[in-house]
Amino acid sequence: MKNVTIGFIGGGNMARSLIGGLVADGYAPSRVHVADPDTDNGAALARDYGVNTGTDNQAVVDQCGVVVLAVKPQVMKAVATALTTRPGVLFVSIAAGLRSVDLDRWLGGEAAIVRTMPNTPALVQSGATALYANERVGPAQRDTAESILRAVGLTLWLEDEGLMDAVTALSGSGPAYFFLVMEAMERAGRNLGLPAEASRLLTLQTAFGAAKMALESQADSAELRRRVTSPGGTTERALQVLTDGDLGALFDRALTAARDRAVELADQLGQ
């Protein structure tokens, strides 16, 4: 991994996060090349991390053993079809909704591709990323792709690319679900008379603490919920209201809707 030259086509927020995570992990900035049409953005990356920057996408492909495709899904076809690939290069896509078979077609066929689905907490090195490798990706390339994404959080592999749409619905869109719950809790706290800032801080720290407890515990979420729910107490009364409102079924419907929309978008983007 340390001897691999890594290129980024696109230098936006997610690419910046990955570059920052790699450099923080000790990866040599001199082995990172970035192509971005925004020269100011490139200058900022060079200044902040010491990486090589430019505007030529093809130069990145020509110089690097791994190329991270970090452009918006809507422009990926135009970017990919303009590239001349070479044997041995691993392409890692962080563009949501793009199937590996479509990306392979745009790259001319026979490309080694790892498709990933990171989420926005990767911007603060707390992301969750699922990865899928096509049949041309070797073991060493899998390790390299995982190391790149692990620099910004948790990683896990899928052997069925079709499950990426479920990942999109769960963790890809998931941060927004938690923000909505936090927004509702803050509002409820204010309605109970708490000052706005107090309600905000108590909500945020509670969300952080609950996630930290879950991450550090061997128990599942259901068991953790039971442990903090005293019979006849305040928590039980609140949870009963949420249960009566069929919160579980509501989340089932929400994630199914998100999954179905992910399939629709993949069909559209792959044309």
Tell me how many domains the chain contains. Answer: 2
- How far, CA to CA in Å, does 66 sit from each of 1, 57, 99, 223, 242? 10, 13, 19, 42, 47
CA distance 5 to 66: 7
> In this structure, are 14 and 137 located in the same domain?
yes
**pLDDT confidence band for 168 (50 / 70 / 90):** very high
Average pLDDT, the chain: 95
Query: Would you say residue 271 has pLDDT above 90?
Result: no
> In this structure, are 127 and 261 located in the same domain?
no
Q: What is the Rg, in whole angstroms, of the alpha carbon atoms belonging to the chain?
A: 21
Model pLDDT for residues 178-212, shown as the tens digit of each residue = 999 999 999 999 999 999 999 999 999 999 999 99
Flag whether 184 is in a domain: yes
Domain boundary among 137, 166, 195: 166
pTM comes to 0.91
**pLDDT confidence band for 93 (50 / 70 / 90):** very high
> In this structure, are 73 and 120 located in the same domain?
yes
Domain boundary among 141, 166, 191: 166
What is the extent of the structural domain holding 26? 6-166
> In this structure, are 207 and 124 located in the same domain?
no
> In this structure, are 45 and 123 located in the same domain?
yes
Per-residue confidence (pLDDT) for residue 2, from 0 to 100: 67
Query: CB-hemisphere CA count at 13 Å for 119?
Result: 23
CATH of the domain at 249: 1.10.3730.10
Query: Would you say residue 1 has pLDDT above 80?
Result: no
Model pLDDT for residues 228-269, shown as the tens digit of each residue = 999 999 999 999 999 999 999 999 999 999 999 999 999 998
> In this structure, are 146 and 49 located in the same domain?
yes
Per-residue confidence (pLDDT) for residue 19, from 0 to 100: 95
Dihedral sign, CA of 101, 106, 112, 115?
negative
Model pLDDT for residues 109-147, shown as the tens digit of each residue = 999 999 999 999 999 999 999 999 999 999 999 999 999
> Is the CB of residue 57 less than 8 Å from the CB of residue 9?
yes
CB count, 10 Å around CB of 26?
A: 7
**pLDDT confidence band for 81 (50 / 70 / 90):** very high
Per-residue confidence (pLDDT) for residue 3, from 0 to 100: 81
> In this structure, are 210 and 176 located in the same domain?
yes
**pLDDT confidence band for 172 (50 / 70 / 90):** very high
Q: Go through 213-236 and write b for each residue having 16 or more CB atoms within 10 A of its CB, e for each that does not.
A: eeeeeeeeeeeeeeeebeeeeeee
Query: Would you say residue 219 has pLDDT above 70?
Result: yes
